[in-house]
Amino acid sequence: MEFLRVRQEEAVGIIELYRPKVLNALNIPLMGELVSELERMERDDTIRAIVLTGNERAFAAGADIQEMAEEDAISMLVKDQFAQWDRMNQITKPIIAAVSGYVLGGGCELMMHCDLIVASETTQIGQPEINLGVMPGAGGTQRLTKLIGKIRAMEMLLTGEPISATEALHFGLVNRVVPVEFYLSEAIDLAHNIAAKPPVAARMIKKSVQIAQDTTLAEGLSYERNAFYLLFASADQKEGMKAFMEKRPADFKGK
Ligand code: DAK
C-alpha cells in the first residue's frame, strides 16, 4: 500500500494514514486503500479492535483540494468518488481514532466515523470547507450536529475556525486528551482493553449505539432488547457469567 502503514499488535489492528508531505490529505487512492484495509481487518478473526491514526502534525487536513479543485458538479456526481466513505459504516469492529495536529474537513469527518477518539493536546479540529466556497460533504453537518449540538456545530461550520483539544473534550467530541507523546499508546491501550471483551457483544453494542443516532427511541429500544436476547445464544455469555460466579477472569472466544 502506498498511503497507509499497517501493523497488528495481538488482537489490535493499527492503520496509519501516510501522506505526510501533504498533511495526510485524503485523496481517492488513499481512501480506497483505507476502506479495503478496514474491510480486510473486519474479515480477520485475529483482530478485535482497530486503531486509526495519522502523525503528530496531522491526522488529516481534509480531502485533497488539488484533486477536487477543477471538478464540476456533473463530474463529481458521475464519479461519485466519495461513495467508498459509506462502506466504512459497515465495519462492525470498534474503531478507535488516535488524532493529533490538524483534523480538518474530511479529516474531521473521518474521525467522526470512528467509535472512540483519543486526542493529543495539540489537536485542532475544524470544518473549514466554507473558506473554500463549499461545505462538508461526508457527514460534517450531520454527525457534528448530532455529536455536539446545533449551536456549537453552527459556529464551527459557519466560521470554519478550528477548536482545540480541550474544547473538543468539553463538547464531548473526543473521549480523552493526553500529552502528544502518549496519544497513540493511549489509543492502543484502549483498543487492547476493548479487544479483551467478548467481540460479539462489542459488535452488538456498536450497532445499537449507531441505531440510537439514526432512529427513534422506540425503534432503538426494540433493537437493543432483541440484541440483548440474542447474546444469550453466544458461548461468551455462558463463559462471562460462569466466570463471574467462579470468581475468575473470563476467557472470551468470540463465539
Ligand atoms: N489538500 C491538499 N493538500 C493539502 C491539504 C489539503 N486538504 N492541506 C494541506 N495540504 C498541503 C499543502 O498544500 C502543502 O503542500 P506543499 O505546498 O508543501 O506542496 C502541505 O500540505 C503543507 O501544508 P501548508 O504548507 O499549508 O502547512 P501550514 O502548516 O502552513 O498550514 C493548514 C496547515 C492545515 C492550516 C493548511 O495546509 C490548510 O489550511 N490546509 C487546508 C485545510 C482545508 O481546507 N481542509 C478542508 C479541505 S475540503 C466528501 C468527503 C469529504 C469532503 C467532501 C466531500 N464526500 C464523501 C462527498 C471533504 C472536503 C474537505 O476536506
Does 65 contact ligand 1 (Cβ within 6 A)? yes
35 CB within 6 A, ligand 1? no
Instruction: Please state, as a whole number, how many other Cβ atoms lie within 10 Å of the Cβ of residue 209.
Output: 12
- Please tell me if the CB atom of residue 162 comes closer than 6 angstroms to any atom of ligand 1: no
- CATH value at residue 190: 3.90.226.10
Contacts of residue 103, defined as CB under 8 A and 6 or more positions apart, other chains included, come to 58, 59, 60, 111, 119, 123, 124, 125, 126, 162
Amino acid, single-letter form, for residue 6: V
**Grid cell locating 151:** 449551536
pLDDT of residue 218: 96
125 shares its domain with 203: no
Which pLDDT belongs to residue 133?
96
Amino acid at 25: A
Total structural domains within the chain: 2
| Atom 54 of ligand 1, nearest CA residue | 137
In a domain, 252, yes or no: no
User: Which residues constitute the domain of residue 212?
Assistant: 199-245
> Between the CA atoms of 222, 223, 224 and 226, what dihedral angle is there, to the nearest 10 degrees?
90
Task: Report yes or no on 95 lying in a domain.
Answer: yes
The CB of 23 under 6 Å from ligand 1? The reply is yes
Look up residue 136 and give its three cell numbers: 462538508
Tens-of-pLDDT digits for all 255 residues of the chain?
899 999 999 999 999 999 999 999 999 999 999 999 999 999 999 999 999 999 999 999 999 999 988 888 898 888 877 788 889 999 999 999 999 999 999 999 999 999 999 999 999 999 999 999 999 999 999 999 999 999 999 999 999 999 999 999 999 999 999 999 999 999 999 999 999 999 999 999 999 999 999 899 999 999 999 999 999 999 999 999 999 999 999 999 999
Residues 89 and 43 in one domain: yes
Q: Is residue 229 part of a domain?
A: yes
Active-site pick, 11, 63, 138, 195: 63
Residue 3: which residues within 8 A CB-CB, separation 6 or more? Answer: 17, 18, 19, 27, 29, 30, 33, 34
Nearest to 93 by CA among 15, 204, 237, 7: 204
Measured from the CB, is residue 106 less than 6 Å from ligand 1?
Answer: yes
Domain CATH code at residue 221: 1.10.12.10
Instruction: Identify whether 166 is part of a domain.
Output: yes
Helix (H, G, I), strand (E, B) or coil at 104: strand
Same domain, 188 and 205: no
The reply to whether ligand 1 has any atom less than 6 angstroms from the CB of 112 is: no
Question: Rounded CA gap, 135 and 127, in Å?
Answer: 8
Q: What's the gap in Å between 213 CA and the centre of ligand 1?
A: 29
Ligand 1, from 21, 23, 80: best to mutate by most atoms within 8 Å of Cβ? 23
Predicted confidence at residue 32, as pLDDT, reads 93
Backbone phi, psi, residue 250, to 5°: -80, 150
| pLDDT at residue 83, rounded to an integer | 80
Catalytic residue among 16, 33, 49, 129: 129
| 63 has catalytic annotation | yes
161 and 226 part of one domain = no
Same-domain pairing of 208 and 191: no
pTM of the model: 0.96
Task: Report d(CA 148, CA 141) in Å as an integer.
Answer: 11
Side-chain-side CA neighbours of 195 within 13 Å: the count stands at: 22
Are 59 and 104 within one domain? Answer: yes
Do 104 and 73 fall within a single domain?
yes
Domain stop point among 195, 216, 233 = 195
